[in-house]
Amino acid sequence: MAAKDPRIDAYIAKSADFAKPILKHLRKVVHAGCPQVAETMKWSMPHFDYKGVMCGMAAFKEHCAFGFWKEALVFDRGKAREKTAMGSFGCIKSLADLPGEKTLIGYVKKAAALNEAGIKAPGRTQPKKKEPIPVPSEFSAALKKNAKARKTFESFPPSKQREYLEWVAGAKREETRSERLATSIEWLAEGKPRHWKYQPAKK
């Protein structure tokens, strides 16, 4: 068995009790299917590489996720399942939510064979570029009154600016729109993107 990354040991140890047996099982399955696998951490989550990224797993508050990098090629199209979470198997809350060990090992072997052969994942359709949203006068006026907020907003790429503008513009009531504008300026002054609450905590 390939050497284990102590960072993954630490990740599993800090996970919720329900997640520990799931993560340990997935780790064992990956090593069984690809003995030469290399463990690593990417995007603060455990990943398994073999001649390129192969698969990864993660633990959340109430579920786990496990996915293959070349998922579309690993699974038969006829077996495609409805996606309810990140990963290839939806929300995994117990070992019962996963296929049998033999089946999982087969998927790992297939993923390893794809990387061995240098087969690339199917290209994703590039989303159409959205037209820039004009900054409403009241938003512009509020930015002019707060230098820190204006500096943050101007430093953001168009996509992150759009998140704030659409949030404020999407309010149906004038009162709600004013509240969202005030909150936007407050967060921008603190250097925060619109969805800062959902970003992983910095360690």
State how far the Cα of 115 lies from the Cα of 112, in Å rounded to an integer: 5
| 199, pLDDT greater than 70 | no
Region 192-201: mean pLDDT is: 78
Region 2-31: mean pLDDT is: 94
Please tell me the pTM assigned to this model.
Answer: 0.57
**Residue 190, domain member (yes or no):** yes
Mean pLDDT of the chain: 86
Alpha helices in 34-173 (DSSP H): 71-74, 101-116, 137-144, 147-155, 158-169
> How sure is the predictor about 34, in pLDDT bands with cuts at 50, 70 and 90?
very high
| 177, pLDDT greater than 80 | yes
**Residue 170, domain member (yes or no):** yes
**Residue 126, domain member (yes or no):** no
| 179, pLDDT greater than 80 | yes
Count up the domains in the chain and report the number.
2
Full strand arrangement of the beta sheet holding 45-49: 38-42, 45-49, 53-59, 64-68
**Predicted pLDDT at 185:** 95
Better pLDDT: 35 or 129:
35
> Percent of the chain, pLDDT > 70?
86
The three-state secondary structure class of 164 is helix
φ, ψ (nearest 5 deg) of residue 35: -60, -25
Residues 112 and 13 both lie in one domain = yes
Residues 55 and 105 both lie in one domain = yes
**Residue 132, domain member (yes or no):** no
Nearby residues of 118 by Cβ (< 8 Å), 6 or more positions away: 51
**Predicted pLDDT at 84:** 43
Residues 72 and 106 both lie in one domain = yes
**Residue 163, domain member (yes or no):** yes
Residues 97 and 165 both lie in one domain = no
Could you tell me the residue range of the domain that residue 93 belongs to? 6-116
Residues 21 and 109 both lie in one domain = yes
**pLDDT tens-digit series, residues 97-133:** 999 999 999 999 999 999 999 888 766 555 566 666 7
**Predicted pLDDT at 83:** 46
| 80, pLDDT greater than 70 | no
Report strand pairing: 64-68 vs 53-59.
antiparallel
